[in-house]
Chains A and B, each alone.
Chain A
Amino acid sequence: MQLIQLFKSGKRHYFYPPKPLLILKLVILLTVICLQVSARAVSQQITISENNIPLEKVFKAFRKQTGYSFFYRVDLLQKAKPINLHLTGVTLEEALKKCFEGQPFTYEILNKTVIIKPKEVSKSDNTKETKAAQAIDIKGKVTSAAGEPLIGVTVVIKGTTTGTSTDVSGSYTLNVPNNGGTLVFSYIGFVAKEVAIGNATVINVTLEADAKALEEVVVVGYGTQKKSDLTGAVTSVKAEDLKTQPLTSIDQGIQGRASGVQVTQSSGQPGSVASIRIRGGNSLQGGNEPLYVIDGFPVYSGGGLGTPGAGPNLNPMASLNPGDIESIEILKDASATAIYGSRGANGVVLVTTKSGKRGRDMVSFESYYGIQQTRKTIDMMNATQFATLVNEAYTNDGLAPVFTAAEIAGFGEGTDWQEEIFRTAPIQNYQLSFSGGDEKTTYAISGGYFKQLGTIINSNFDRLNTRINLERKSNAKFSVGTHLTFNRTTGNTVRTGTDGEVNAGAVLGALQMSPIQPVYENEALGLYTLNNNRGIVTPNPVATANEIINENVILRLLGDVYAQYEIVKGLRLRVSVGTDLINNKGNNFIPSTIAQGVGTRGYGLVSNTTSTNWLNENILTYEKKINESNSLNLLAGVTFQGNRSETVSASSQGYVTNALEENSLQSGSTFNAPETSTPEWGLISYLGRANYNFKEKYLLTLTGRVDGSSRFGEGHKYGFFPSAAIGYRLAEEEFIKNLNFFDDLKFRVSYGITGNQEIGQYNSLATLTSLNYNFGGVLVTGFRPNRVPNPDLRWEKTGQFDAGLDMGVLNNRLRFTFDGYYKKTTDLLYSSSIPWTSGYAEALQNIGSVENKGLELGINSDNFTGPFKWTTSFNIATNTNKVLDLGGVDFFYSAGVSDHLKVSQVTRIEVGQAIGDFYGYVSDGIFQLEDNIAQSAQPTAKPGDRRYKDLNGDGRITADGDRTVIGSALPKFFGGITNNFSYKGFELNIFAQWVSGNDILNYNRFELELPTGGQNVLSDLVNRWTPTNPSNEYTRATRTRTLLFSDRQIEDGSFLRIKTLTLGYTFPKLIAKRVQGLKVYATAQNLFTFTKYTGYDPEVSRYGASNLDMGQDYGVYPAATSYIFGLSFNL
């Protein structure tokens, strides 16, 4: 289908021939054209004098002078030769005649419109030629260097308009005059080739890829850039890198792949949220997760979506299919992120999904199936050992023993609660995709199903996903397209990582529950053992996992439509409208038959959140190569984004029957207050960027964004976020070239300011909250103010300096990227304490500052490039975090303390220290019989009790004087290494990831090392202190629970993990003609983990993405080891 180019004529518009797509185009054009409307004097006389002028320009000049409109086919006009035209005061007809001399066109004038048409006579010319010299058919095939057929290659006889293009098999047939000549083969991305026809009738051609055009292009904010032109710190992860690793969500794809990016999967719960820190955490409570931009749509995933019941938060990224990813770019420095302004401070992750490629239609199928297991279990006491401990604790406290010797002997091993909750769980994935395209239209359609059962019973996650990416180039100037994905995920989350005692989740329960007790009191009736008895009231973990419904069903539609128009050469306008619709239905049911449901006699809750996020972006770009040595690339835009989230939830309790679960809230006998909310936010942004390139040697990037956000106080709504960067491509300098050593050498330096707006909504306003009281048994509603308004609330700002070096040596087989940075975040958003006498505990204020500085190194190496290929990619980074100022106070304790352990605060944010430092006592072994306890700092202690260091030497152990920094959750180094080996279709991929120098607060140890007999303990505690066994590790048995937070609970969290190990084989093509790239592979994930950490897994975060409470493990769902077999092929 051909389209015509449209010009305007006065107030009237013509189009010929009418084509449906024009309507679309008109919508866009009208906005532009309206501005071109202006009255002009017109005459019939034409005066022009110019050499080598394209016809298009001529027509424009004519139009200006005469007011006549011109219609023509774009492709026809491209065949026209530029002309020399020197006319003075001639008529339009004369001028046109002159123009068309020797051109393959003719024209027709209709009602002040000039229609340009191909010359009919050319056919008859051909006929004459055929008569004169016998025409012959030339056939052939055009392939790439790799032997792939090239589709749509233009084949023309040089100097004529006669030509054709290759078909789907890369073949062509062209009728040429039998008088020799030359064929020109041209194709985008390839070097054009000319072949003399001579006497040949078959001409097969291989086109070489155009190295310049194929130079790696990376996605940057609002566009793409050649990698060599980058001035910012950007790490790119391509689809090939991710193929070897079965991912459940997009963010896992960047784990260990990019230097300076620390990804911590906070829980092993399928679909749970990960914590991501790009170059350290800037903010105390303003959110520290990066901004995700999915095909241009900014999505802040934050700390994840809450589930209706207790449990780890869900990962909003898990609702998107990782298999659709084409590339992930991680923007780290301000030069790269400042274009995202107020949301750029934590780094930006750009996700680009697969689009269709011009060429043959492709069908791809990918599938894998695997099993997962808990990496390890923790050795706990069996029933006999435990019963012995119980007796000892009672007798030590002067009480009668609980069990007789005969009873103890009869207990045997008892219940292995870990075995009861853990299982071997399958994971499976099926993805089918179609893609392809021709000269004008490309498409990619995919759909699939992913299902993962968790390694704890009754936890699961599945996803149905579909995607359509479509682009249509209507003509050389105009294109439209869409990215559209629609997904449904469902998952049941098991209660884990919660506080202890009555709130204990399944993992903590499995560790603490007495092995003497059975799972069921009466299995036939389904009567569970309710609680751990004689001590901590931990609910039965099997019942917790099996019986509590904690399910989320999430429907998500994320997509945009866009249109792009080239207004004049180099100047493009792109308008897009997108939306991210998320519907999250939460179902929660706690039956009356388990401990958690006894109090409520069954509790059901349903909640529904519909979040509508919309985006309009209007971006102008202008590319101009001013001359050989100067080129310019400009971008300006205005964007609007808004979000409205509507939540409704209802619950009831007191059920006669548990059969209906949460599906019949009306069956309850007590109806709790329903809740609704409709928070909204909006963002208006103006953005601009200039890239200037001088002699391919000096690069300059300036960006700026003005963001207006609804979240801030009146008068502080707008913020300006600029950045500047320069790049110096030393490799282009003669003196470097003369060294003959560097293939690439670029020095980059940037500085910029980015912001953070993640403070939630309405925080600057004087809001009221509702609450209930009752008078004489009748409920009444009250309202009270719940916040001291702070109209001064303003942006948190991060200034970042980055210096980087990119280097390629040994024919670019060895490539280095080195970056050093310094970030300072000021105006920290924090709910700082105010005197309680005000009636409020805190007020959100801008206080203090934090710095992060670090070094990053990335190395990519092609070790072997022959038939045996070996590539290595390595990255390592270090980041140092320091609190500079807390608005006048020296320190504060962060919340998030486990209520039931009552160990007071465990982290302290202190000026001069890093966020995430643990603060507690220092343990000093165990008091022995011979120690002079009365003279110690713990005069009331008994032999066998734990001793602590009296740090301030005042003879007492006090919270004020004897606590100190006893560890840090922040790693000193972290990174990853990938090795790929391939030989004749075999492929081996080993990806390892490490974190070093961080500490974990292992909360579990508080109780698992506490021989009270009130809960199960580590089997190692058979070596606890007794008068005859003077242990210096484990305290004596006593029913008294003494809990002090000390270095005893701090462990080294360093680990090196073989994250994935994949062995694959790709069958040669000849096996089946239709099936290409048939590949089978086996992958092991988390196969080996080298760590000293004694908990389930060192990759853990009890408080998810929180920056103030990192690296804490308390009954967290452990990570799994999985073994996966996969298959993929194309048709």
Chain B
Amino acid sequence: MKKYKYLPLIFCLNFVSNGCELLKEDPEHVLVTENFYRTQEEAIAVVNAVYQRLSADMYNRFVEVLSDLTTDDYKNGIGMPNPFLIDLEYYNFTSENTFVASNWTQHYDGINRANVVLSRVPNIIMDENLKQRILGEAHFLRALFYFNLVRWFGGVPLVTTETQDLSNLNVPRASLEEVYALIIEDLKFAETTLPATYGSSDLGRATKGAAKILLGKVYLTQKDWSNTVQKLEEVIKNEATYNYDLHANFRDNWIQATENGKEMVFAVQFLQNPGQPNGMMVLSAPRNRVPGLNGNEADIPTVDLYNAYQSGDTRRDATLFTSLTVNANTYTFPHPLFYKYYDPGAFGVPQQSNNNVFVLRYSDALLMYAEALNELQGPTAEAYNAINRVRRRAFQDNSHDLAGLNKDTFRDAVYKERRLEFVLEGQRWFDLVRTDRLLTVMQNHKENGTINIKPHQVLFPIPQRDRDLNPSLEQNSGY
């Protein structure tokens, strides 16, 4: 037998070289970290992925469900009676509510994506201005994600580095102050490195103005009126620099040609296939009422909202509709429906709506400015000017200009204006909580039966799943 002792060697000679290759994982169609984060183009792609989180599916109904369905603006219609949505409408939600959890998940996914930019891009050798812009975008987006989280949940775990392995995943909650400190720090970075405007192929990226206005909103939420005023003035007093103004017609904001126009401060960009279409059109469109329009009628406005508009306010018919005319046939609905995200170009294919969703509009900056000025100095001329610019556009003339209000009635006027202006734009719940009105408004809202809101529900519960996995995560009181 000894002459065969070399036999195994043959296999080795033939296959050892192949063999090593065979066990090496070298995916050709899947990028691995080792082959990435090297070029300027890749840096842009990494930050693009953070934006993508906004459209899938964060601002594609999930943010609106937590911030509008939970208010007196919006209720569940006949389509898709999802028990978790009904729980939100009636304030019966628990820590296992999937929509609460989805927002938590999507925001932390966004935060991790932003953290990837912040950990990887600084090491890429590239144009320094572009690098600073990309870092600014990531800081802006991270601030936005934390800003939503802190307002919904209170002090949340602060994750500021990319998750690269399975260690140290159980992050405890930070204090409210710590979260706000990070948000402000991020936005201050962003406002210094972001450009005021972009070319047409970059419309929708975070701008210097967006960072300032968002920072203004952060101050406003903290009731830090002077910083609010100061920050917003930086934009409003230089609005030409930022190319900001109100559209002549309110509806221009949801028309494809003008939606990225002068009123857009920051908007989530939707685009029909092969992009990410806006799903809110199909969810709110009429169901079996207009031939060819297969809406779900899942999300419908309250009648209270419809009636809140004064006559002559063009915003009502730009926001809600009660009938639709197709081919000279008019189909009337038994109750109002949301029109805001109705894209006529997607008639028959409502899954393909192109409508963007605003995170910040210039009218928001004006109304915040008016509110903060009033809190600081009472209804000054500048405050009137800011709110009346919004109203003049709404009524198409100055006949409905506000005048002669005291500090309290001016405040109420701003609140009312905000409700009518930002329907289904993810603002109402935040506004109600920020102004300490959520409990009273919802307790008095009886249109669809009693809302069981309790005092602790000015915060949402931390999702049970993460609490099960991470014992250090404390629940908000009351849940």
Residues of A within 8 A of B (CB): 31-32, 35-36, 38, 531, 533-534, 537, 567, 571, 598-601, 616, 618, 620, 638, 640, 642, 653, 670-673, 676-680, 682-684, 708-711, 717, 761-762, 764-785, 788-790, 833-841, 843, 845, 889, 902, 959, 1040-1041
Contact = CB atoms under 8 A, between A and B. Distances in A.
B348 A833 contact: no
Interface of B: 3-4, 6-8, 10-11, 15, 18-19, 21-34, 36, 42, 44-52, 55-56, 81-84, 96, 101, 104-105, 108-109, 111-113, 115-116, 156-157, 159, 162-166, 169-171, 198, 200-205, 256, 260, 269-276, 288, 292, 294, 348-352, 354, 463, 465-466, 468-470, 473
A765 B45 contact: no
12 contacts: A534-B288, A672-B274, A708-B23, A770-B31, A772-B275, A775-B198, A783-B49, A834-B469, A836-B104, A840-B109, A841-B105, A1041-B81
A776 B169 contact: no
Contact of A767 (B30, B47, B270, B354): B30
A771 B52 contact: yes
Given A788-B164, A839-B108, A779 B275 contact: yes
Contact of A781 (B48, B163, B166): B48
Contacts of A710: 22-25
Given A683-B22, A765-B27, A837-B169, 5 more contacts: A618-B11, A717-B23, A762-B30, A772-B274, A782-B51
A783 B112 contact: no
A529 to B, nearest CB: 13
Contact of A835 (B10, B36, B466): B466
A841 B31 CA distance: 20
B28 A680 contact: yes
B274 A835 contact: no
Nearest to B349: A599
A779 B354 CA distance: 13
Contact of A684 (B23, B28, B115, B468): B23
A31 B3 CA distance: 12
Contacts of B202: 775-776
Contacts of A36: 3
B349 A835 contact: no
B192 to A, nearest CB: 22
The 8 closest A-B pairs by CB, nearest first: A839-B112, A776-B203, A782-B48, A682-B22, A782-B49, A784-B49, A766-B33, A768-B31
A499 to B, nearest CB: 13
Contacts of A680: 26-28
Nearest to B41: A781
Contacts of A709: 23
B105 A772 contact: no
| Residue of B18, B22, B56 with most chain A CB atoms under a 10 A cut-off | B22
A39 to B, nearest CB: 13
A785 B33 contact: yes
Contacts of B49: 771, 773, 782-784
A684 B19 contact: yes
Contact of A837 (B55, B96, B470): B470
Given A32-B7, A902-B83, A764 B204 contact: no
B349 to A, nearest CB: 5
A773 B8 CA distance: 55
A684 B24 CA distance: 11
Contact of B46 (A618, A783, A841): A783
Contacts of B274: 670-673, 772, 779
Contacts of A762: 25, 27, 30, 32
A35 B42 contact: no
B179 to A, nearest CB: 13
Contacts of B6: 35
Given A779-B271, A837-B171, A785 B116 contact: yes
Given A620-B7, A834-B166, A838-B169, A773 B52 contact: yes
A1040 B204 CA distance: 42
B23 A599 contact: no
Contacts of A785: 33, 116, 162
Contacts of B51: 773, 782
B45 A781 contact: yes
B25 A764 contact: yes
A776 B469 contact: no
Contacts of B200: 776
A845 B256 CA distance: 46
A839 B111 contact: yes
Contacts of B115: 839
B163 A766 contact: no
Contacts of A682: 21-23
A680 B23 CA distance: 10
B10 A776 contact: no
A407 to B, nearest CB: 19
A931 to B, nearest CB: 23
A942 B45 CA distance: 56
B386 to A, nearest CB: 28
Contacts of A837: 108, 156-157, 159, 169, 171, 466, 470
Given A677-B29, A835-B169, A889-B468, A782 B105 contact: no
Nearest to A841: B105
Contacts of B21: 682
| Residue of A531, A653, A682 with most chain B CB atoms under a 10 A cut-off | A682
Contact of A775 (B24, B81, B170, B201): B201
A959 B205 contact: no
| Residue of A531, A709, A784 with most chain B CB atoms under a 10 A cut-off | A784
Contact of A599 (B24, B109, B294, B470): B294
Contacts of B3: 35-36, 38
A1041 B78 CA distance: 11
Contacts of B55: 773
Contacts of A534: 288
B144 to A, nearest CB: 15
A761 B350 contact: no
A765 B35 CA distance: 12
A531 B203 CA distance: 40
Given A599-B352, A640-B15, A782 B45 contact: yes
Given A676-B29, A774-B269, A835-B171, A600 B469 contact: no
A600 B349 contact: yes
A711 to B, nearest CB: 8
B273 A653 contact: yes
A157 to B, nearest CB: 39
Contact of A790 (B34, B162, B166): B166
B80 to A, nearest CB: 8
Contact of A840 (B45, B163, B473): B163
Given A600-B349, A784-B46, A642 B22 contact: yes
| Residue of A601, A678, A680, A764 with most chain B CB atoms under a 10 A cut-off | A680
Given A764-B25, A835-B170, A839-B163, A672 B273 contact: yes
B468 A777 contact: no
Given A771-B49, A773-B51, A775-B205, A788 B27 contact: no
B463 A836 contact: yes
